[in-house]
Structure 1
Amino acid sequence: MKAANIPLPTPDNASAPIRRRALLVGNSPDHSTRVAGILAQRGYLITQADHAEDALAICQDLTPDLIVSDWTLTGMSGLEFCQAFRKLDRASYGYFVLLTMNRDQDDLAAGLQAGVDDFLTLPVSAQELLARIAAAERILRIEDELRGSNTQLRAALAQLNETQTAIERDLREARKLQQGLVRERSGRFGKTEISLLLRPAGHIGGDLVGFFPISADRIGIYALDVSGHGVTAALLTAQLSVHLSGSSDQNVALRGAQSGGDAVGPTALAHFFNNMMLEEMNTDSYFTMIFAELNHSTGALRMVQAGHPHPVLQRADGSITHLGQGGMPIGVFDNPVFDEIHVQLAPGDRLLIASDGLTEATAPNGHQLGNEGLEAILRTNAFLKGHPFLESMAWSVSEYCRGERQDDISAVLLEMREDAQLVRLPRKPAR
């Protein structure tokens, strides 16, 4: 092996030197000297080799940017050398120029198939060689830029992956905290049983369900659905949960009871939240709500519907009724109209308050579950009670949309046991 490093001349143009390495392969001193001189003027570091095997060893050690090879070499042909060169494990591209005595079309096709980038006809013309070098430099410069961009992209991707991992970890913890907002998943008050379901579509969501005792024979029941998804909706849900907590000093509905009066009624509570959203919250979010007050001794139920899906009443005989007229969502209008509903529950009746994540669950064909699908679930699972019913309902919804659920689902199931003995309050005398 012969390796000759030719010193670089001082160029007239300071921007000319590229500082790339060129490998000249061949046993023709005249051609090599001429090509080496032209490349040196272009600022290349020059390395030369007589044999193909030596040249391959140099390619592994020095990774030249430009290779200029004779067609005929000792040990293998120029085409075979190019094929072997292309199989080397390199971090960057090497531009391969093959010197030939003629431009036979078959030879050119074979060279391109072997991985040759360009051809030069002997004897080498300085003008043609400079043109080929310019083309090679453009390719190498583009490859350098792409490699640099890929390096930056890989670094950015690695940083994004680290950030995503941290976000996923935080969201998992946020999910635990949000699930903790539903302090009790079920409750029994006399012969009345309440069961709750909360399933965010992602890590966290904007649905909230719950209940709390108002007095010895009354309980408050609520279901909220904040617009949107993710962190914004979850933060608003967390704030609303404070106003509906079991603590009497924070629960808005219980403030009246603190002073010896009655609890805030369902419609008044909806107006309170509407004013709070418009006057205190600097957000474009809004939410829908069902708030119900149940006297579990008498079965009397009054509730307000503020844009939330219609509660579904299933009587003991299996008949199903969708209650309410809809009402307006909370946090949109200055003077909203809410729908107040009064209904008398009897032993064996049950009331389902569900978010639109159930009725708007969409099958792959684009059809939504709708009220008819929800009624079918109620009838099919009529024999199930409490959490088994809610879990079966959630499974049915997931199967309907093939696991591609796009929205949170939440539900409150209120059941009057069949053996319940309800108190009959005396009617007020007519005036």
Structure 2
Amino acid sequence: MPDLSVDYLDLDSLLSAEELKLRDHVREFVRARITPNIARWYEDAYFPKEIAPDMGALGLLGMHLTGYGCPGHSAVEYGLACMELEAGDSGMRTFSSVQGSLTMTAIHMFGSEEQKQRWLPGMAAGDLIGCFGLTEPTAGSDPAEMRTTAVRDGDGWVLNGGKRWIGLATIADVAVIWAKTADGISGFLVPTGTAGFTATPIQPKLGMRASIQADITLTGVLVGNEAVLPDAHGLRAPFTCLNEARYGIMWGAMGAARDAYEAALKYALERHQFGAPIAAYQLTQQKLVDMVLEIQKGTLVALHTGRLKDAGMLRHEQVSFGKLNNVRQAIEICRQARTIFGGNGITLDHSPLRHANNLEAVRTYEGTDEIHALIMGQAITGLPAFVTAPCQSATT
């Protein structure tokens, strides 16, 4: 029987026994709870909120945070979990990411002790859901242009504005809302039952169908001073949370790619054409080899980045390196895997095209390919290219 493993470089030998145990535990959960159901969830555009407490019990929510019911795992352990969750579906990894890397990280790093005690234990357990309101209809890659405002009103604040593409917003109990104040950008914890807060799901979608993204409208939302994240000042705070999510994505993308490869290899060994399994033909083998090469390289990138993160040596442009490379390569792997299935590959009986559709969204959120290229470009040249000079007149 051929070796169906993708680990030709024996990357598992670089992991500790504890890391392998955690990875395998999450893999078993995905195979038992997500894989048998994901085609139906994707088809029905359904996010299974009921698995949130199970993910909490496994320590998958806020798993890189410490205290307040959070397990305090290493960056590498968090990355391995993201890889396994996204091998099931990007939507499942996105849930862990929005809950833990974005919302819980914002509270854990920038919140008061009272805010941490109120929200983090329930969120770590999966009993409470959070969302992270940064992106707006007119302020995606340039959050400095956000139009949502927070104005002082006596002992509280009034928030007005809108957010777009906010994961989990329609089922969330609390929203971290970033808004402009007279002193700059600040973060606010807004219970979603507050008057004037409305979340509307974005539908229909061609990808991320087993996940929730929504528009948020804030109309005269009144919150008290206790809603302010006291240590969040300026865009550094939300960008810190975004980098946590971007780190998880570089691992997750390789999980989707690995699942697509494994499905394609199994199919190629079983599917016969012209008297032989299609795995026996040169063109099919070339496709499989190309997939293995990029999966192994991308996993090495993620693992090395995780070790740097655990050592406190990680730079933000290195996160951009991993997110840009791994998502871009994962999309190509999933598309190539789909071709091995022929026409059967466009059905939900097989995972590669579902993964590819999801990854088109993943390559856009938490920084587009272009944004990460510019982050790396600035690191390489020392010259920022996010804002171009005004166009010169043709007559000058």
Please tell me the TM-score bracket, short chain as reference: under 0.3
Between Structure 1 and Structure 2, the one with more strand by share is 1
The structure with the larger Rg is 1
Between Structure 1 and Structure 2, the one with more helix by share is 2
Structure 2-normalised TM-score?
0.20
Structure 1-normalised TM-score?
0.19
